[in-house]
Amino acid sequence: MRGTTVPPGTPCLPPHNGEPPIHRLEVPDAMPFSMGTFDSIGPLSHAPFPHRHTFHEIVYVTRGTGTHVVDLARWELRPPHLCVIVPGQVHHWENVQDLDGIVTLFTDDFLVDHPADRDLLHRLSERPWLSLDHKAHQRMERLVTELHDEFRDGTESVLRALLHVIISRAARLTEVAGPSPSRANAVAQRFTQLTARTDLWTVRDYADQIGVTPGYLTDVVKHATGRTPSHLIREARIREAKRLLIRSDLTVRQISHRVGFADSAYFCRFFRRETGDSPGDFREKHHDWPHQSIVSEQPAP
């Protein structure tokens, strides 16, 4: 990508109309990748003034105190941390002392072998600071060290492969820590919208429709509502069954199929468990006319 890398010593792009300055990746050759310690990268690796990048940055902090501000969100240093900053994000460091760790810098062009990693990086940037437990820290430290060694003495293809592993492992850490707030809210809202449909009756149905895993959907919906998708789907099925019992002349068997039950007897047990009434009793309580189909098809309790 033109303009994202420059020779060492090239000045930063000047601010424009009051916007923060833009830093481009300084590399001595054509490979759009660099990494090193905070000291070896230099003062700009922990710049105290707001700025943006034309490149991705993965920061692995192993020691230090202070604050990192990313898009106005303040993150206190309590290492070990893994941080992801993507092109365009505004960030800076405040009151940093004894900072240590490894900084990895690369452009979109370096992800040519694994283009899907761009989406993972943007997802990670929504929750830019990850605190690592002892096991996660050990695993990530080994990977980052291996990447650093390869950068000094190895080949570009191996660098790309190792970077892909680090990005993938970091994405797993976000699943453990919980979904990012913005994406989680969007998924939870989409789930709520879909509950109005009458052709989705399992968590997997909803997850497939939204494009997430059932486990991820369960996490975000529970976080947003305090209840599981399964619970909310049961409520949606009961609401639809009640509506059909009151507002239609459909038989119990027909209604059971409408709300996703192949077995009408199982539907009757489900309805009684959720409401305390059989479908027939519920219809009689809320209807002014009898339904012979209910009498003929209602299983004995």
Which pLDDT tens digits describe the chain residue by residue (301 residues)? 334 444 455 555 555 556 778 887 766 666 889 999 999 988 888 999 998 888 999 999 999 999 998 887 788 899 999 999 988 888 999 999 999 999 999 988 898 888 888 888 888 887 778 889 899 999 999 999 999 999 988 888 999 999 999 999 998 887 655 555 666 777 888 888 888 777 788 898 888 888 777 887 888 888 777 788 998 888 888 888 998 998 888 999 999 998 888 899 999 999 999 899 999 998 888 765 444 343 334 444 4
- The reported pLDDT for the residue numbered 18 is 61
Show the tokens assigned to 171: 């994405």
Rounded CA separation 249/231 (Å): 28
Rounded CA separation 300/279 (Å): 12
- The reported pLDDT for the residue numbered 3 is 41
Q: How far is CA 45 from CA 25, 52, 103, 107, 108, in A?
A: 11, 12, 8, 16, 19
DSSP 3-state assignment of 67? strand
Helix (H) or strand (E) holding 172: helix 156-177
SS3 labels along 194-241: HCCCCCCCCHHHHHHHHCCCHHHHHHHHHHHHCCCHHHHHHHHHHHHH
- The reported pLDDT for the residue numbered 138 is 94
Rounded CA separation 85/129 (Å): 9
* DSSP at 46: G
- The reported pLDDT for the residue numbered 255 is 92
- Cβ-based neighbours of 210, under 8 Å, separated by 6 or more: 187, 190, 191, 194, 217
Query: Would you give the distance in Å from CA 296 to the centre of its chain?
Result: 50
Rounded CA separation 25/107 (Å): 8
pTM above threshold 0.85: no
Q: Domains of the chain by range and CATH?
A: 5-177 (2.60.120.280), 181-297 (1.10.10.60)
CA angle 41, 47, 50 (to 5 degrees): 140
Show the tokens assigned to 300: 């004995």
In DSSP terms, 33 is beta-bridged to: 106
